[in-house]
Structure 1
Amino acid sequence: MKFSKATNYALHTMVHLAMEPTSEAVKVEELANRQMLSPTYLSKILTKLSKAGLIMSTPGVKGGYRLLRAPEDCTFLDVTKAIEGQESLLNCTMSHDGKWNKNCLIERAMSDVEDKMKEELSHKNIAGIVKQAENREKEN
């Protein structure tokens, strides 16, 4: 399975924002530079995260982006849904006698796998990654 690069960038952006002091907004240019991205491209990702209620945008000279929720409340599943949407990984394409098969066994099997993946992603949060990053910095 593969998620888009946008999901990867969104997760990294969320970690960067979580590591900032809570009172400070981070400019899109700074977030883009940290990941070597175009600010225009990252802005599209930030818009999706904002619409999903994960971050907020503050306009103006001192404006920028900050988390809207605590890092503990931002799961990988939340971020993935914000970027990738809610569409299932697989929708059955087979038809029988000209009718779509509503009980496709392959689709059911893939749905079970997808449910397990969503469960795992819902247990991983941004705070966990921040803690691991801080521990790594202490070790070095």
Structure 2
Amino acid sequence: MKYSKATNYALHTMLNLALSKSSKPIGVQTLAEKLSVSPTYLSKILTKLVKEGMVSSVSGANGGYSLTRGWESISFLDIIFAIEGKSSLFECGLDHGPQCQIQKVMLKSEEKMEEELRRQTLADLAKTSV
């Protein structure tokens, strides 16, 4: 199982925003330099996070991105879903339906993983990163 680079960058971007001491929005160029990623690519990721209400954006010369109010409750799973979507990691392609024993095992495992990712919040990570 592998998450996309976009998810990796989204998680790191959210942590960078959480750890920011600035009360002003942080520009995409600054964030991109910290992650060594293209500003254009990071902008696409940030657009998804803005759409999900996790990040706010301000345009203009002093514009940039900042976390929205209540960011402390954002979980890793929220961020992953914002980037990857909410579809299951495994789907039985043999059309066995809900009786497929393999699919049952895979879905149960996925639920356990999602529980852990839901439990881990951005605030928890920010506390341990200081």
Q: Give the TM bin, normalised by the shorter chain.
A: over 0.9
Normalised TM-score (structure 2) = 0.93
CA-to-aligned-CA distance 1:19-78 (integer Å, 9 cap, x gap): 123621000000000000000000010011111111011111111000013342111010
The CA deviation at 1:127 is 1.3
Does the 8 Å contact 1:27/1:63 carry over to 2?
yes
- Quick check: which has more Rg, 1 or 2? 1
The one of 99, 104, 110 aligned to 2:100:
104
Q: Distance in 2 between matches of 1:119 and 1:6?
A: 21
What do you get for the CA RMSD once the two structures are aligned?
1.3
1:138 corresponds in structure 2 to none
Q: How far, CA to CA, are the matches of 1:73 and 1:106 in structure 2?
A: 34
Mind listing any 5+ residue stretches in structure 2 that lack a counterpart? none
- Matched letter for residue 11 of structure 1: L
The yes-or-no answer on 1:127 pairing with 2:129 is no
Aligned match of 1:32 = 32
Deviates more, 1:23-32 or 1:65-74: 65-74
Distance 1:69 1:3, change over 3 A: farther
CA distance in 2, matches of 1:128, 1:11: 13
Q: Which runs of 4+ in 1 moved over 6 A?
A: none
CA–CA distance in structure 2, aligned partners of residues 73 and 64 of structure 1: 22
**What does residue 19 of structure 1 align with?**
19
2:9 & 2:124 partners in 1: Cα distance?
Answer: 17
